[in-house]
């Protein structure tokens, strides 16, 4: 058995982002995994959240927001590399965990017990976990996923790694987190580095208000959505309202963190991002009712989110870029 951190799912203390009342309990699989992995390694993940500000509407979805790998190195000294899978997946995971490197790997939620009630034993859904403990002999896996740290074993282990199948299985996307240069800066230095990353993101903001683009596409999508089943609605909602809502809630968390570390005059921007998050959650339910009942949708709600985004970004650009 190989493990990096000595953790017990029953006593593991989640990061506050995953343990407090929130609009969006989960964000997306990759972001949630890194929040908990960084937290377990003794780092503050919120410092790396400037990436939440530069998202855009990409035409058919909102940006799938993720921790930036270069930022992880600058803030924490963690080097992330893609792992080429040329042997069996279990062999690679065993070798890398033995080297003290968490392995981020795409697995099937069908065999992840922590997804009970949503996907476990119900649906094949791709998701990312971070492997911390690996025991091939006893068929046991310790992993970060979604909001916490979990273990699985036995038949779930066999199924998730396809150990009972003779035919080859397409290799998943795998990354390793190399911790040999990991470092913990004092709070002042951490904030300094984070603010530089924040300024970089503010320079990369969309040139056109992304909510205006989203509204135009939603008008087109509505008639099509009304003809789809509920599963398609959930997929559409995840790619749009849930992504933007969860992302900008993290933006508000980041500004809270800056305020707690001495940054001032961020109140109106924080409120704007919280408003976007709360509105997106409510709008998700309104959209579901519109689709199921065939009624019209109040699109002025998106205009209000567009206004909040514009006001917040203008304030932040003036404060941190002088423009």
Q: What is the mean pLDDT, run by run of 10 residues, along the chain of 323 residues?
A: 97 94 93 98 98 97 97 98 96 98 97 93 94 97 97 96 81 96 97 98 97 97 90 94 98 98 94 98 92 85 98 97 88
Longest dimension (CA), the chain: 61
Using DSSP, state whether 253 is helix, strand or coil. Answer: helix
Distance CA 296, CA 148 (A): 39
- Give the number of other CB atoms < 10 A from CB of residue 46: 21
pLDDT at 167: 67
Distance CA 210, CA 218 (A): 12
Distance CA 117, CA 85 (A): 31
Distance CA 268, CA 264 (A): 11
Using DSSP, state whether 54 is helix, strand or coil. Answer: coil
Distance CA 55, CA 158 (A): 38
Closest CA to 174 of 89, 70, 79: 89
204 neighbors 298 (Cβ within 8 angstroms): no
């Amino acid at each position: 058995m190989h493990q990096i951190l000595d953790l017990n799912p029953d006593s593991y203390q989640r990061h506050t982002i995953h343990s407090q009342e929130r609009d969006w309990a989960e964000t997306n699989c990759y972001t949630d995994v890194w929040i908990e992995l960084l937290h377990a390694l003794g780092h503050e993940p919120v410092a790396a959240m400037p990436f939440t500000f530069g998202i855009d509407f990409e035409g058919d979805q909102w940006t799938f927001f993720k921790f930036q790998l270069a930022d992880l190195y600058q803030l924490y000294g963690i080097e992330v590399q893609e792992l080429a899978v040329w042997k069996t997946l279990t062999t690679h995971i065993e070798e890398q965990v033995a080297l003290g490197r968490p392995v981020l790997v795409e697995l099937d939620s069908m065999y992840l017990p922590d997804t009970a009630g949503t996907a476990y034993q119900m649906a094949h859904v791709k998701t990312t976990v971070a492997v911390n403990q690996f025991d091939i002999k006893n068929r046991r896996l310790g992993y970060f996923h979604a909001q916490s740290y979990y273990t699985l074993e036995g038949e779930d282990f066999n199924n998730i790694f396809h150990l009972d199948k003779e035919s080859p299985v397409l290799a998943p996307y795998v990354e390793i987190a190399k911790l040999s240069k990991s470092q913990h800066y004092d709070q002042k230095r951490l904030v300094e580095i984070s603010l530089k990353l924040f300024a970089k993101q503010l320079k990369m903001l969309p040139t056109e208000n992304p909510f205006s683009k989203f509204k135009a596409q939603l008008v087109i999508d509505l008639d099509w959505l009304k003809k789809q089943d509920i599963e398609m609605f959930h997929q559409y909602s995840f790619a749009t309202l849930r992504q933007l809502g969860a992302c900008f809630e993290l933006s508000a968390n980041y500004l809270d963190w800056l305020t707690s570390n001495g940054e001032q005059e961020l109140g109106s921007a924080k409120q704007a991002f919280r408003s976007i998050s709360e509105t997106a959650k409510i709008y998700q339910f309104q959209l579901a009712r519109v689709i199921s009942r065939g009624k019209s949708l109040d699109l002025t709600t998106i205009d209000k989110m567009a206004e909040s985004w514009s006001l917040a970004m203008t304030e932040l650009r003036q404060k941190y870029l002088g423009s």
